[in-house]
Amino acid sequence: MNAPAGWLERLRTGDRRSLGRAITTLENDSDGAAAVRAEVAAHVGAAHVIGVTGPPGGGKSTLVAGLIGALRARGRTVAVVAIDPSSPITGGAVLGDRVRMGLQQSDPNVFIRSMASRGHLGGLARSAGDVVDLLDVAGFHTVIVETVGAGQSEVEITRIADTRLVVCPPGLGDDIQAIKAGILEIADAFVVSKADLPDAQRTERELLAMLKLRRGDAPRPPVLRTVATTGSGLDELCDWLEQRQARGTRTAATAADRAAVQLVRRALAGDAYGRHMGLELVDGSAGSAAVRMRVGPQHLNFNGRCHGGAIFSLADMALGLACNSHGAIAALVDGNISISAGAVEGEWLEARASEVSRSRKLAVYRVDVRREVGGEHVASLSGTVYLTGRPVLGGPEGSAAEASNQLPPVR
Ligand SMILES: Nc1nc2c(ncn2[C@@H]2O[C@H](COP(=O)(O)OP(=O)(O)OP(=O)(O)O)[C@@H](O)[C@H]2O)c(=O)[nH]1
Ligand SMILES: [Mg+2]
């Protein structure tokens, strides 16, 4: 999309045509997508984003349809992003979702969009994140993201939510083990769906028993019961959702992560070299950061491939954000890169940095650079940083705090 002037204002005043066009631009990552992201970034954070995940056929869409009705009854506007994994099991999900949610499609305060996952789920998580940002900026009070499954890829997708609901239908048998293994840490609440079925009580008991074993002092997620087909339990679920006051907290599960996200947003926005290289923030939390770059003509070497220095810059930016994310200036004192594959113009590369170890003065970070499409490994950077103990410029106490409205999104 070559965005017509004023599209953002129209989108913010509820124009669905502008919304649809902007979504298509982001989904296709076509020319202008970066500009759309940048304009949207300044305004995100007002919506309550709810991730709904669980096994295939677990009752997610029926629950979401019920939630739409219950939230509308409370005067809320609701948008839904239904992610269809295009798997043989759930092949008809898109159509099914449309039909089940059909009643609400004619309500101008409800917006439903299905997205197919083509290939790499990391890419899907990002474009879903982009679309959620748009729906947020378009003024929807609640944005619901439905994803199937309970594995690592869904964990990644639900990171874009403020609140994560894990749907557990009765009678999962051994599958409940799989749910426990993958999803325990991210669930803000468990919903025993289809609670009219005989095994519902047992499922609830198993979940409660499992939660009791959990260590740490994080709040224990509640286990709620719903019969979405009759509406039973939906009011209680809405009450719980509304009490959470989680609006605008997505991508950051803890207060430390929220502070870190704000800091890395500011840091990248204030980084002249990063802007010059066209680097974009994907994700951040305390001690980790992910940055992406589209290989452009300015990044190519004399052989027409992406310059090794550009790959180092991308990895180093991720490392720099990760190690400064705690709020104290950290400086690279030793860095080693190994490159396993090249990259060509037009490809998106993503660098993900995480902390390996940390002492009082030194910390070690590792960065993996991968192709966004296909996820192939391109390079690794290991770096040792010196921790100065001085506050990061533009950090929480920095003067740039008020500029945070103009910063790029964290997806
Ligand atoms: N008995 C009973 N059946 C339900 C309830 N909610 C959903 N179902 C049924 O469960 C089946 C699957 O429901 P969906 O809402 O499509 O489940 P889903 O998790 O969205 O499925 P996929 O998106 O295909 O993974 C349908 O036949 C629903 O009618 C419920 O509360 N009670
Ligand atoms: Mg569904």
Residues of the chain with CATH 3.40.50.300: 44-243
| Three-class secondary structure of residue 117 per DSSP | coil
Distance 342 CA to ligand 2 centre (A): 39
Q: What is the pLDDT of residues 103-138, one digit of tens each?
A: 555 788 888 888 776 555 555 666 788 899 899 999
Q: Is the CB of 57 under 6 A from ligand 1?
A: yes
Please give the radius of gyration of the chain, using alpha carbons only, rounded to the nearest integer: 22
Q: Is the CB of 60 under 6 A from ligand 1?
A: yes
Q: Is the CB of 150 under 6 A from ligand 1?
A: no
Structure token pair of residue 395:
């950090």
Q: What is the pLDDT of residues 191-218, one digit of tens each?
A: 999 999 999 999 999 888 888 877 666 6
Give, for all 411 residues of the chain, the pLDDT tens digit.
555 678 889 988 888 889 989 998 888 777 788 788 878 876 777 889 999 988 888 898 899 999 999 999 988 899 998 886 554 344 344 444 544 555 555 788 888 888 776 555 555 666 788 899 899 999 999 999 988 765 555 556 666 788 889 999 998 766 666 665 666 667 889 999 999 999 999 999 988 888 887 766 667 889 999 999 999 999 999 999 988 866 556 655 556 776 787 788 888 888 999 999 999 888 788 899 999 999 999 999 999 999 999 999 999 999 999 999 988 999 999 999 999 999 999 999 999 999 999 888 999 999 999 998 878 999 999 999 999 988 887 544 443 333 333 333 443
Q: What does the angle CA 339 – CA 341 – CA 343 come to, to the nearest 5 degrees?
A: 110
Residues of the chain with CATH 3.10.129.10: 255-406
Distance 102 CA to ligand 2 centre (A): 13
Q: What is the pTM of this model?
A: 0.66
* CA–CA dist 264, 332 (Å, integer): 17
Could you tell me where the DSSP H helices lie in 244-401?
A: 255-269, 272-277, 308-324
Structure token pair of residue 100:
């089940």
User: Which among 62, 98, 100, 168 is the best mutation to test ligand 1's pocket, defined by most ligand atoms within 8 Å of the CB?
Assistant: 62
Ligand nearest to the CA of 80: 2
> What number of H helices and E strands is found in the chain?
14, 13
Name the superfamily (CATH) of residues 44-243. Answer: P-loop containing nucleotide triphosphate hydrolases (3.40.50.300)
Nearest in space to 273 (alpha carbons), one of 291, 247, 300: 291
Cβ < 5 A residues, ion ligand 2: 60-61, 93
Taking the CA of residue 90 as reference, the ligand 1 atom at the shortest distance is: 24
Which residue type occupies 239?
D
Q: What does the angle CA 304 – CA 306 – CA 311 come to, to the nearest 5 degrees?
A: 165
Nearest in space to 100 (alpha carbons), one of 70, 68, 63, 62: 62
> Taking the CB of residue 165, how many other CB atoms lie within 10 A of it?
29
Q: Answer yes or no: CATH 3.10.129.10 is held by domain 255-406.
A: yes
Residue carrying structure tokens 């180093």: 316
Crossing angle of the two packed helices 16-28 and 33-41, in degrees rounded to 10: 120
* CA–CA dist 339, 318 (Å, integer): 16
Compute the half-sphere exposure of residue 145: CA atoms within 13 Å on the CB side of its CA: 33
Structure token pair of residue 384:
């040792």
* CA–CA dist 382, 241 (Å, integer): 42
